[in-house]
Structure 1
Amino acid sequence: MPNKKNNLPFRMSRVAKITSVALLFLMQLMLSKTAVGQTLTVKGKVLTETGSPIEGASIIQKGTNNGTVSDNAGVFSISVPTGATIVVSAVGYSEREVAVRNGSELTVQLSLSDKSLSEVVVIGYGTQRKIDVTGAVASVNLEARRDLPMTNVGQLLQGTVPGLNVGLSTSSGGTPPISIRGRVTLSGNQNVLIILDGIQYTGSLSSINPDDIATIDVLKDASSTAVYGAQAANGVLLITSKKGRKSDKPRLSFSTSYTVQQPTIGDLRPYDRAGFINFMTQNFYEKAYTGPGFTQPNPSFRLQDWIDPVLGTPAAGLQPHDYDWFDEATNNGSIYETNLSISGGSDRFTYFLSGALVDQKGYIINDKFKRKTIRVNLETKPLSWWKVGVISSGSFVNQDGAEPSFGSIQRMPPLLRPYDSTGTLIPFPTRTLEPSPFTTYYVDDVERNNYYFANVYTDISFPFLKGLNYRMNFGNNYRESKRFFASIYAAGQTGQAFKNYQNYYDYTFDNILTYSNTFGKHDVTATLLYGAIERQFNSTNSRAEGFTRLNLSYNNLSLGTNRFTESNANAEALNYQMARVNYKFNDRYLLTATVRRDGFSGFSKNFKYGVFPVIALGWVISEENFLKKSEIVNSLKLRAGYGINGNQTAQYTSIARVETNTSYIYGDGGTTAFGQQVSSLGNDNLEWERTAGLNIGVDFSLFKQNRLNGSLEFYQNKTTDLLYSINIPNVTGFGSIRTNVGQINNTGFEAAINYGIVRAKDFTWDANLNFSINVNKIVTIRGIDANGDGIEDDLVSSGLFIGRAIGTIYDYQLDGIYQLTDTRLPGFPVGSLRIVDQNKDNDITQALDRIVLGRREPAYRFSVGNTFNYKGLSLFVFINSVQGGKDGYLGNNNPSYFREDNTIRINDLQGINYWSPTNPTGKYPRNVSGTRAKFEPNYWQDRSFIRLQDVTLSYNFSKFVKKLPIQTLSAYLSGRNLHTWTKWEGWDPETEAADANGVQQAQGLLIGGRPVLRTFTFGINIVF
């Protein structure tokens, strides 16, 4: 038993220690309360760098809600504890933190922020302050869109920059169509050039994780795109990924979101049983109704007596089913996304590491997209003047599974079912050659694409010569794809399976030498570039048909009766040199001169190389003495540039090509000999297509706090030596030859306006407007004057018209539908569209009765974004629009019904306003005569729309988690494609799909269209 007496000193000592600690704690608490209670009033003034007062600047005690705003003289007063820090900020300026000292009167000068003309933008092979840029360069505001459900980088860009035209994708993970400033070519390359971290990116935009992107800059004119030469005639997207930065501790960022998707189709669904029966009854109106006007129901009419026997017979009646094929093939879509990144570094080493997962399920079953991405961006400085780094990423895309035929789904009648009584799929439910739409769904399908990107670089700032820098980029793109497939329904129900492997690799090797220095009032930056690109593609396909059974799927092709192998490979190479000089005098007079020489293996031996020069000038007017003291104009710059870019031809178009075909059969039932023949003519004089462009721009910032700022652009492009395939006499043995002809003009105007509408203590409202107009015109094509009247002939068969837009519509003019009692032109039954007889000869002919109706191109585009901030709450509302104006942005939308053997069994879409005797005001033709109309014309309609595209509501909870190791915590709710105002009928007016000839056409009230999805997202962002 322990001795209590002996233990007493220990116990007393412990009590004394506890008491001492408690007393010290209480004294510290009392002192701290006393300190907190000692406040002082701080007075000061907020000024610009030039000494002008800033009205409405926010002054807040750091870590609290205690704050005030400056008056019209920039003066403020705030009470804070001794030793506190205040945070001073204003729209358009960089935020500053200032420590408060006793009795101090502060003068806080704010510098222009990233949103102003001092912003540093990527310009290609370097960066530059925006105020020094002479070309048309625009930056995408990513911050307002990071909380939107984006599985593809392209979806981030809709409506963000005037002149950057981004459409919609209707498939999971799909890349929307992207163009910059409209078309400048007929059949040359029309793709926008993508530059990822300084390297041409040839992978799919679907492989890039949007959360990894730091900035996106758009180069639109010849002055800005000249450094990329022949591949930049259609504009450039510069994508820069996030990188590490020096920090006291690592920065851990986590985000996750869940999205639900619903179609925006409204009632655009196939008929159910009752609707289908009524629809078919109207298709037999001359039997279902009596009287002179076919308006009285015929009591003896039975649909089963006239409809296809597969749907019902006179003896058995109609099939009893009411099957919803559309519902079977669709489900609510969803997107699950999560991102995790860690970044940090020191003076010598920085890092950014990230990983992400996206799992999207589309509206149509098996429209799936899964992506896993990993990124490693590292940079180290072995010496103070030497940097070495790697920018690398891997993206692994899984699109396994095949959709049912969505067009066939919409055609299938509800009176039929896809499965028999045993649950087995019926291959041909209509007993015709059209298979069940689910024969493309019940298959084994593997589709995987792995993308690897790496740019290894070294950057040396030579210590022995100030301003001299050398950078070497070695960029690599590698893609491996595999597609495995097996279907017992393919190859005429005999079964088919295949394995296809593809790989693509390219490298870019750039050597960039830059010298930059200031001599008094002279700033000079000179850049020299020598680079090369090589691309290689290989594919191998093994295929077999005629399987007794496909139990082993695609894993044993030798079981097929007929086996085939195919392979393909190609390669191309480019090299280039570029020189650029940026000169600035006295901070107000700017000059940019660029010349680039490109070589491409795809051109003829006589024109492998092309040289493309550009010059641009700028004048910072606000630096002149007569504007320096202006209280209205903060910055004003005028710039103009003129230059020439090239455009490349496709592979092998300059050389004669050879094909292998069946040449001779040795006797009846003998062996077949194969021979080679020239399939296309070469052209040793095929040269670069050239686009000469003039751009005039104005950048401005007005009023206090830069409340109004933006840019205006006017441009005019002229493309000559168009790459085009001209028809030649068939006596040559060939139909056409690739050559250089003609000229296209492309003109436009763009405006980007930002306005700070409200600046209050707790509430701000910012708005931005983007507006663009683009008009193209064919000036000449072949220069042929067959009529001798001095006017070049149009290429009507190709849809090309001199003096008009590339998308000119030359077609029949319509004037309603022929009614029962109308006098009709020969060859036009009742219920068909009435075509205007232009020459009044009582006949309709292609040569004499077609006229120019309008054009496919829109008249103008605009978007309006509004951002509202109230304390921690933020609301972003974005409206996007495309307008056709007078006879512009037209699309073919002509659902029509002609009763024949096929149409008496297939379904149709609800809501189509077909003509009938009981519906004489119907808009679309219904012909039940058994004889087709002489012409079945297109029905061109206006696609103009205004779309409530994005709405995001977010809240920052950071002030509630200060005691936790969390820097930022926010949650958001966002919606996309919420509502569209349009007169267009059918699928979404903005979406397009390829027709039978491969031409992109608008999706109207047509079978086979795909819906745009309305999305709702909830997400959380956390930064530790």
Structure 2
Amino acid sequence: MRIITKLKTLLLFTFLFLVNFTFAQNRMVTGVVSTEAGELLPGVNVAIKGTTTGTITDVQGEFHIETNSESTLIFSFIGFGTVEMKVGSQTKMNVILSEGSEQLEEVIVVGFGEQKKENVTGSLETIGSETIKDRPVTSTSALFQGTLPGVVATQTSGQPGADNMDILIRGSSSINDTPALVIVDGMPMSMNNINPQDIESITVLKDASATAIYGAHAAGGVILITTKRGKEGKVSFGYNGYVGVQTPTMEHKFVGAVEFMELSNLARQNDGVNSNPVFTQDQIDEYRNGSRQGVNWRDAIMSSTAMQQQHNMTVSGGSEKVKYYGSGSFFDQGGLTPNTNFQRYNFRMNVDAKVNDRLTTHFKSAFDNSVRQQPTRGIGSAYYNANIYSPIDPIKWDNGEWNYVRNGNPVRWMEEGGDRTSNWVNTQLMLGAEYKIVDGLKAVVDYNFRYSHDRGKAFNNKHDYYDGDGKLVKTEPNWYEDYNAATTYSGLQARLDYEKHWNNHYLKAMVGYSNETQLWEQGSMTRYNYLTDNIHIIDAGSRDPKDWMMGGTADQWAIQSLYARVNYAFKDRYLFEANIRRDGSSKFGPSHRYGLFPSLSLGWRISEESFLKDVEWVTNLKVRGSWGKVGNQNIGSFDWTPTLAASSAVIGGEGVTAVYYDKTANPDIKWETKTTTNFGLEADFFGRLIGFTVDVFTNRTTDILMNVPVPPQFGYDAPRVNAGIVDNNGWEVSVRHQNQIGDFNYFVNLNLFDNRNNVVDILETGPWIDDMRFTDVGAPMRAWYGFRSDGIYQTDEEAKANTAHYNLNNNIGAGDIKLVDINGDGVIDGDDRELLGDPNPRYMFGINLGGSFKGFDFNILFNGALQRDVVLINEAAVPFFLQATPQEWQVEKAWPNSNEYPKFREEYTVNDPGRYFSDFWIQDGKYIRLKNVTVGYTFSADLLKKVGATSARIYVSGDNLWTSSALWSPTIDPEISNGSRGASYPQLSVYTTGISLNF
């Protein structure tokens, strides 16, 4: 009852906002901060505990701050321990700070353990809980955008439940792109199953010295996520929640019915093949005078706003013996399209128990349930068809019947087509223990178990389509689909940790063993022709075997490993680390099952040398270098051995089941190996007033596993072989600045990153050409490939004067794209294609700035790329592609209105050079995006004490607020578009308001 009373009281605190500033009896407190040796300390941070109010000491070490007798002041300065002092009746305070840097003693989570930040010799980045808690995000992966150098997080869709990021660490190093390994409390899993508010810290391991301890899993880098744990003290409760509104970031503006018809006639006229107009003047006038109404198909399937909300409750506390943290959260995201929604429930409990002075145990459990609802046909096909249907294709006929159009009616799919529901349930359990054997030596054992179940159900309603006269033209049968998949993972980790300090030496060593297994099983069944749309079970469908579809498969793998690490530091200046891991994977044959992955790294803390020790403005200066190898096993589980498959066939009028080998195999395939060299420099000056980090890296991936092309008559796809070598080189820079001016605290963080990959060898099988993609020695992987262009012909005479002509084409004129005859043979054909551009973004950057003043705080985040090739394809490039409706920007830029875009031509004629892919369609895709703005207010501790709360903050936040790019099309998102048609579910601008309470 007391808790309920407190909650009711807390709801009143917003009404006290205006009197908050005069609530307490404040007075001026002054003082001096010095070292144990009596030296005055300028630049010391002085903050009132529980608030964002503070100041810094001046050049004489003096400070002045207005507060009251109930406050506690916190004094902190890099290189010295933090001190807290109760104000009480004091008006003057003398504060002494002892050496023992809290910042440099910061502990960072690394693979299978922790390290002091000062001793880290690898390349890694961290995101702390303060950054996480202050920003509302739909998924954990959204935290990576623009915040860390070398980490590229790309969101390809804003669809509810499908808006997770693709995360790439330091770019692509293999044709078999390997996603980053995500470890949550020691267990590999998807980061998007986690409630972001449960996260204590995130560490990104980038170079081989940091990732080699994970061996075969680590080719794509490693992301370590640590969840919150209980702390000793009385029980505390917390609530964090927000509600928000979503809107699309990009708006499609299609031409209306009259303009569409006139442009269609113009396109046919430009073709010069058929002199008859597509539409008569009478038909056009029917729409012009309002007798008939045009349609915007995209507007018909998508609204302009949708709601989003999240609510999170926590409880934590404990004693010396037992500490606990528990949470529960609910996330709900509505869709811009009908019958579209995503909900996620998360529950977590972490318990640490000290059994005795030697034995400590921990138990962690997590459960999440995600439910995604969408129309049976999905969202993608509806968006695609809405983009290509014309404004004169009616959604319904005048008699009320649905129009079938060409591929079906997306509006009917959305409104009456039925539902597809995907239900994911994930359960994770972790049991662990630490036992102190002797002083400095302990044994650690962790067992992880995860069970995931995916249940999908879909029912597609029967649809009859009639024409305007009521004649049946098409029937789409009803059908029901039931899908089940389950994944069971178990992992055992056991290790010995040893740590010892003596004289000027520090030694930390670890040796461990791990065993991981995973089994995935899947089965599905589809049945057609139900008597009614109201019974959604498999058994109610047609009894005819022709109306049944069944399928199922399974996959499993196991990996067994030994690993070890040694860290050594001498005088806290000279640092050394070595890692080694031996993996045995079931994905390779007996002769190549095991791989060995070592790494070495060195560091030198120059700032600890005697010649810099007394240079006050140099706070930290460290150089480091590393070399190491990691493996890649991102291939099928049984590529090394032939496998059997079953298929049904009709022989002699009867159905039989046949078993056959479904592929060729290569028992000699072995590990891909990625070798990384990294050099880094870290520096901080003037007590962390400004600092920077620079990393330069080279990666070479050898023995790349690939399917070498074979002739079609071979009958099977070629087996995988170790044939490729790819180099990936780059650099990263981050600059940071923080300061305090009176009551105003602020920070600015900048990061910039670039990398390039280059194919070194593909076993003399290149070039590999796949439509617009090109892979060969000396070029980036999957580079853009096509014709060169030289602008647009301005007159028919200029076009006819060009002796080179298009293959099968002699109707080139003013307004057409001028393609270049590269080989000079007088014919423009496939032999004139060449490498056009790099699909990978260059010079990715992030800008993060924020601050606080008297309880108010703000945070602003930008991200972008300074160089990027964005390719427009299909209807995004060529109007009337599949009879698609032109967009307003295409009309504005089309010749002769502008010289930027070719003239319109009729759909799919051989006379249009715009149909050939050329660099004309490669756009300058550099961009900058205002990714997030958050503004908050934290109420004073004095005010909250009266209502029994320990902290309270209200905030407003916005995501994807503004984007600037040089792209022609305002409908193409420069962040996600490599070969884009702009026909997918858009990214979203989200505007939220929230509250965070603790008591």
TM-score after normalising by structure 2 = 0.87
Which has the higher relative contact order, 1 or 2, with Cα contacts under 8 A spaced 6 or more apart?
2
Q: Which of 506, 509, 512 matches 1:526? A: 509
Partner residue of 2:998? 1023
Q: Which of 751, 757, 762 matches 1:781? A: 762
Tell whether the 8 Å contact from 2:52 to 2:938 is kept in structure 1 after alignment.
Answer: no
Partner residue of 1:592? 577
Q: Which of 422, 427, 444 matches 1:452? A: 427
Tell whether the 8 Å contact from 2:605 to 2:621 is kept in structure 1 after alignment.
Answer: yes
Q: Which of 371, 391, 399 matches 1:414? A: 391
- Structure 2: distance between partners of 1:729 and 1:60: 72
2:174 matches 1:185 = yes
Per-residue CA shift, 1:952-1004, capped at 9, x if unaligned?
111112243331111111111111111111012333444447xxxxxxx342x
Task: Go from structure 1 to structure 2 and tell me whether the alpha carbon gap of 1:751 and 1:306 turns closer, same or farther (over 3 Å shift).
Answer: farther
What amino acid does structure 1 have at the position aligned with 2:763? R
- Structure 1: distance between partners of 2:40 and 2:735: 24
Tell whether the 8 Å contact from 2:430 to 2:447 is kept in structure 1 after alignment.
Answer: yes
Partner secondary structure for residue 622 of structure 1: helix
Tell whether the 8 Å contact from 1:51 to 1:109 is kept in structure 2 after alignment.
Answer: no
2:561 matches 1:564 = no
Partner secondary structure for residue 410 of structure 1: helix
Tell whether the 8 Å contact from 1:87 to 1:96 is kept in structure 2 after alignment.
Answer: yes
Residue range with higher mean Cα deviation, 404-413 or 857-866 = 404-413
Partner residue of 1:625? 610
- Structure 2: distance between partners of 1:893 and 1:1015: 28
Partner secondary structure for residue 802 of structure 1: coil
Partner residue of 1:133? 120
Partner secondary structure for residue 283 of structure 1: helix
Partner secondary structure for residue 111 of structure 2: coil
Partner residue of 1:750? 732
What amino acid does structure 2 have at the position aligned with 1:806? M
Q: Aligned-pair distance for 1:914? A: 7.3
- Structure 1: distance between partners of 2:721 and 2:278: 62
Q: Aligned-pair distance for 1:38? A: 14
Task: Go from structure 1 to structure 2 and tell me whether the alpha carbon gap of 1:874 and 1:76 turns closer, same or farther (over 3 Å shift).
Answer: closer
2:404 matches 1:443 = no
Q: Aligned-pair distance for 1:422? A: 6.9
Residue range with higher mean Cα deviation, 832-841 or 74-83 = 74-83
Partner secondary structure for residue 265 of structure 1: coil
Q: Which of 367, 386, 391 matches 1:394? A: 367
- Structure 1: distance between partners of 2:52 and 2:476: 72
Q: Which of 831, 834, 840 matches 1:857? A: 840
1:946-985 → structure 2 map (5 Å cutoff): 946-959=928-941, 960-985=943-968
1:141-160 → structure 2 map (5 Å cutoff): 141-160=128-147
Partner residue of 2:230? 244
Partner secondary structure for residue 973 of structure 1: strand
- Structure 2: distance between partners of 1:859 and 1:37: 56
Task: Go from structure 1 to structure 2 and tell me whether the alpha carbon gap of 1:83 and 1:898 turns closer, same or farther (over 3 Å shift).
Answer: closer
Per-residue CA shift, 1:696-735, capped at 9, x if unaligned?
11222111x2211232111111111111111235565434
Partner secondary structure for residue 662 of structure 2: strand
Tell whether the 8 Å contact from 1:285 to 1:916 is kept in structure 2 after alignment.
Answer: no
Partner residue of 2:587? 602
- Structure 2: distance between partners of 1:413 and 1:729: 42
What amino acid does structure 1 have at the position aligned with 2:564? A
2:187 matches 1:199 = yes
Identity across the alignment (%) = 25
Partner residue of 2:20? none
Tell whether the 8 Å contact from 2:123 to 2:206 is kept in structure 1 after alignment.
Answer: yes
Partner residue of 2:697? 715
Tell whether the 8 Å contact from 2:338 to 2:414 is kept in structure 1 after alignment.
Answer: no
What amino acid does structure 2 have at the position aligned with 1:369? F
Q: Which of 481, 488, 509 matches 2:461? A: 488
Task: Go from structure 1 to structure 2 and tell me whether the alpha carbon gap of 1:820 and 1:132 turns closer, same or farther (over 3 Å shift).
Answer: same
What amino acid does structure 2 have at the position aligned with 1:376? M
Tell whether the 8 Å contact from 2:53 to 2:854 is kept in structure 1 after alignment.
Answer: no
2:626 matches 1:641 = yes
Per-residue CA shift, 1:510-545, capped at 9, x if unaligned?
112111112222211111111111101112212211
Task: Go from structure 1 to structure 2 and tell me whether the alpha carbon gap of 1:728 and 1:108 turns closer, same or farther (over 3 Å shift).
Answer: same
Task: Go from structure 1 to structure 2 and tell me whether the alpha carbon gap of 1:289 and 1:91 turns closer, same or farther (over 3 Å shift).
Answer: farther
Q: Which of 819, 822, 827 matches 1:835? A: 819
2:205 matches 1:222 = no
- Structure 1: distance between partners of 2:345 and 2:425: 10
Tell whether the 8 Å contact from 2:231 to 2:317 is kept in structure 1 after alignment.
Answer: yes
2:877 matches 1:891 = no
2:789 matches 1:814 = yes
Partner residue of 1:11? none
- Structure 1: distance between partners of 2:315 and 2:609: 46
Per-residue CA shift, 1:128-148, capped at 9, x if unaligned?
111101111110245245333
Partner residue of 2:329? 356
2:859 matches 1:879 = no
Partner residue of 1:24? none
Residue range with higher mean Cα deviation, 469-478 or 348-357 = 469-478
Partner secondary structure for residue 141 of structure 2: helix
Partner secondary structure for residue 641 of structure 2: coil
Q: Aligned-pair distance for 1:761? A: 1.7
2:445 matches 1:472 = yes
Partner residue of 1:257? 242
Task: Go from structure 1 to structure 2 and tell me whether the alpha carbon gap of 1:653 and 1:630 turns closer, same or farther (over 3 Å shift).
Answer: same
Partner secondary structure for residue 326 of structure 1: helix
Task: Go from structure 1 to structure 2 and tell me whether the alpha carbon gap of 1:553 and 1:422 turns closer, same or farther (over 3 Å shift).
Answer: farther
Partner residue of 1:846? 830
What amino acid does structure 2 have at the position aligned with 1:809? W
Partner residue of 1:166? 153
- Structure 2: distance between partners of 1:82 and 1:326: 63
Tell whether the 8 Å contact from 1:955 to 1:970 is kept in structure 2 after alignment.
Answer: yes
- Structure 2: distance between partners of 1:924 and 1:650: 45
Partner secondary structure for residue 926 of structure 1: coil
What amino acid does structure 1 have at the position aligned with 2:341? K
- Structure 1: distance between partners of 2:26 and 2:746: 36
Tell whether the 8 Å contact from 1:251 to 1:344 is kept in structure 2 after alignment.
Answer: yes
Task: Go from structure 1 to structure 2 and tell me whether the alpha carbon gap of 1:120 and 1:486 turns closer, same or farther (over 3 Å shift).
Answer: same
Structure 2 unaligned spans of 5+:
1-23, 464-473
Q: Which of 268, 293, 315 matches 1:342? A: 315
- Structure 1: distance between partners of 2:343 and 2:65: 53
- Structure 1: distance between partners of 2:71 and 2:425: 53
1:42-81 → structure 2 map (5 Å cutoff): 43-47=31-35, 53-59=40-46, 69-76=56-63
- Structure 2: distance between partners of 1:133 and 1:607: 33
Tell whether the 8 Å contact from 1:523 to 1:583 is kept in structure 2 after alignment.
Answer: yes
Q: Which of 158, 165, 173 matches 1:176? A: 165
- Structure 1: distance between partners of 2:72 and 2:409: 74
Provide the aligned C-alpha RMSD in A: 3.4
2:746 matches 1:762 = no
- Structure 1: distance between partners of 2:169 and 2:259: 45
Structure 1 unaligned spans of 5+:
1-35, 295-299, 785-792, 994-1000
TM-score after normalising by structure 1 = 0.85
Tell whether the 8 Å contact from 1:945 to 1:989 is kept in structure 2 after alignment.
Answer: no
Partner residue of 1:378? 351
Q: Aligned-pair distance for 1:925? A: 4.8
Q: Aligned-pair distance for 1:39? A: 9.4
2:328 matches 1:328 = no
Partner residue of 1:997? none
Residue range with higher mean Cα deviation, 135-144 or 375-384 = 135-144
- Structure 2: distance between partners of 1:256 and 1:37: 32
Partner secondary structure for residue 55 of structure 1: coil
Tell whether the 8 Å contact from 1:808 to 1:852 is kept in structure 2 after alignment.
Answer: yes
- Structure 2: distance between partners of 1:647 and 1:60: 48
Partner residue of 2:10? none
- Structure 2: distance between partners of 1:515 and 1:947: 47
Partner residue of 2:4? none
- Structure 2: distance between partners of 1:957 and 1:659: 65
Per-residue CA shift, 1:889-925, capped at 9, x if unaligned?
343456454769x62xx53433224776753635145
Per-residue CA shift, 1:269-291, capped at 9, x if unaligned?
3333344344434334469999x
